[in-house]
Every structure is written in structure tokens, then in C-alpha cells.
Structure 1
């Protein structure tokens, strides 16, 4: 498999189009003001809209996080299926450093680690309601190593202070909100990876890019991963019950034909879904909601 290509995508209706990407992640939150402050003052996101119980946050007019207020919901267990982290992708090391420094300055105890993954450099946080966040930068695609369709990834120590010392400037920190950012991938907790593969690869149409017994990474178009599923905390977890945390994962496809092909795959497998012509919504085996729409 050549990085950045997906030759099957244009010819095979069982595979998502190569230019599929991720949309915003919706979080169900108990304290809307607290979470808004964390993401706006800490991560330098901008309020794009705020109506009723929903606040949309993003960069450059592009939604990244949707906070949906529902104080009636209980806090879930870390061992439940649901969100592992939302991964926000930056364009260069200066932008990534500014976001990391800004969030660490507001809430230093929310920082939980950093790693070099060979394909990317990443910093990890946990928001005040326990939702995981990854802030990351991709290494150039021509440096990714592929063997038999699997991309080489690892977890190597990355010194956060050295990284910020090398890349952070006062100007980038003061103007962090001006740097573009998008949801690069979404990582879920699931009960088992075999069932996850059947849903996200065989049915939804992603392609597996890295597999181990406890985790599965999938993508469209030869990206290292648009989604991942692991059992590190949640092995054996059953379907979710209503709780704070993950609300919706948005996947964005290029045209209506992709929605139609996905609907055909779901229908042929007897799965229930909602389809209004341009948006399709389905639940995975753990009741994580996935919404696929045309970008």
C-alpha cells in the first residue's frame, strides 16, 4: 500500500472514498460553562454558535467540538465503551506548541503525556469531565513506512518542555486562535476489536491500517488513521447506557453517492440507520453514534 493512495476507493463501493475526513465531535456535558471556558480559554477555540443547549467551537470558522448540555445525564465509567480521545490536528509545530502551551497554562493538571508515534507527534490532555484530547502534528507522509498495508507506528517518549522550547514563540502563543486546526481522528473505547473491525471496516468502509490484539486503526485514502478503537480500559464492555461523554462522531464524505453506497452496505447487513438524503446516522455495536454527511 502506498501512503496517500487508496486505489480501491474509486472502484469499490465497499470502501469509503479516499478524500473522506472527520467532522466535529459532539460531547454531552454536564457543566457547559466550565467546558466552554476550558476549550475557549485553554485551547483557543472560538465560539462559532451558541443556541439553546448547544455550543459549537472551532478554528477559522470550522467546527471542532460541539458541546451539548445535558445535566440530567450521569458521569460514565472509564471502563465503558465511548470516547478515548478527540484528536485535533495542527498544520505546523508552532501552532501545535501554542495550543499545548495555552492549554497547559490554563489547566496544567489536565496534561497527561506526550509521544512520538513515528507518523505524528502528540500531546494528551483530559478535559474537566474526563473527555480525552490529543493535540498532534503529522510527520510528512513520505516518511511514513508501510508494510503489507500496515503503517509503522510506535509510542516513543517526547519531551514536552524540549518541544516547546524548540518551537514555541510568544507571537504564536498570543495568536493561537488564528492557527487553523481540524479533527484529524477520533479514538474510541470498545468491547472487542473483532466486532469493531466487522463494523468499521467491513460495514462502514474504512480500511485497516494498523492492528494489534487490543487496538484497531482504520482510515480512508491511505491516512495513518481517521478512527481507532481500543480495549485498553474497556475489554468486554457492552452497549453504552445514556451518560455524559461522547455524543456523535461526524464523518465527512465527498458526495451523495458515498452516502448511498453506505446505506446499501448497512441495509444488506440488516442494520438500522437514519438517512435523510444527505446525512446518515448509525450506531456501532456499543451504541456509539456515527453520523456520515456530505462535506
Structure 2
């Protein structure tokens, strides 16, 4: 077995194929609130939270006017966007509600609270916040014991600032 990956390694960004760049920017910037960092005409754009060069790349290089992949094929299951606090996740839910974007699900995993939805191109999107590690559920031997329960959306919205 090889040595484990360096513990400070992180996923830096995700790059998505989209059918319509303006529509994708309307969702990621207009609804979720990411900032457009750079755009290459109608072919590609890079968006960010907090001024990073990009967290999400969007392109139409191989997908302009395309359809989402059919069920039963391999590919991206979802991208996950980590919010820094419960109030920020509640804000995201308010944005989705205001835009009329339905959720596919909402779960409390013990370690995190998550909202699941689809972007305009059918890509799975998870919006979530982690609980502090000291609150993570553990079994009798101390191993992580994640769960999946229904997330109380009214309670989450009550956390909005």
C-alpha cells in the first residue's frame, strides 16, 4: 500500500461542461452569488468565492447546446460547495427559494447539513456546511458514524442572518 496523500491536500476547483454559458453564469453568479473572475466570450468563464482565481470553471468547448448525460452513465455525481457557517447555508437556501429552484433533497449527516439540487445543465450540486469536528457522531470505538436524516429546512432558515 502506498503512503497516504499529504493531509493538507484540497480539491482546488471543478470545471463543468455546460450547454449555455450565460444560463450557467445566471445560476452560479446570479443565484448562488459567486463572482465572475474571467470570461472568454461565450466559451468559458471562471467564478470564485472570496476572490480566489476560480473555484468553478464553466465551458462550452465540447458541450454547446448539449444535453445532460442520460441516467446510467458515468461522470460527475455532484460538486459540493462548502459554506463556512449555518447562517451562510441558510442564505443559500433563501437564494434558491427566491429563484424558484427546487431541491432534490436535504440531509443531516451528523457531520454536516446538506442541500441537494441540480444546476441548469443537470449537474448535481451539494450546498453544505460542516459541523465542528468535536460534534461529529462517533460509535463506541470512536470511529466516525455518519448518518442520513431529513434536514429541517424551517429550522435552517431560522439560522439566516
**Which structure has the larger Rg?**
1
Structure-1 separation of matches of 2:80 and 2:70? 21
2:94 counterpart SS class: helix
Matching of residues 50-61 of structure 1 within 5 Å: 50-52=39-41, 53-61=43-51
Per the alignment, residue 69 of structure 1 pairs with 60
Partner of 2:156: 163
Structure number with the bigger relative contact order (C-alpha 8 A, sep ≥ 6) is 1
Q: Work out the CA distance in 1 between the residues paired with 2:77 and 2:151.
A: 20
CA distance in 1, matches of 2:110, 2:7: 22
Q: How far off is 1:118 after superposition?
A: 0.5
**Preserved contact between residue 42 and residue 107 of structure 1 (Cα < 8 Å):** no
- C-alpha offsets along residues 10-42 of structure 1, whole Å, 9 cap, x if unaligned? xx9631101011111100011111111011111
The CA deviation at 1:84 is 1.2
TM-score in terms of structure 2 length: 0.87
Q: Which residue of 1 aligns with 2:111?
A: 119
Equivalent pair of 1:42/1:104 in contact (CA under 8 Å) = no
Contact 1:41–1:106 (Cα < 8 Å) also in 2: no
Structure 1 alignment gaps of length 5 or more: 1-11, 170-295
- Structure 2: runs of 5+ lacking an equivalent: none
Secondary structure, in 3 states, of the residue corresponding to 2:147?
coil
In proportion to residue count, which structure has more strand? Answer: 1
User: Counterparts of 1:1-20 in structure 2 under 5 Å?
Assistant: 14-20=3-9
The SS at the match of 2:13 is strand
Matched length? 156
Match of 1:152 in 2: 145
2:25 to 22, 27, 36: 36
Matched position secondary structure for 1:124:
strand
**Once superposed, what is the RMSD of the aligned Cα atoms?**
2.0
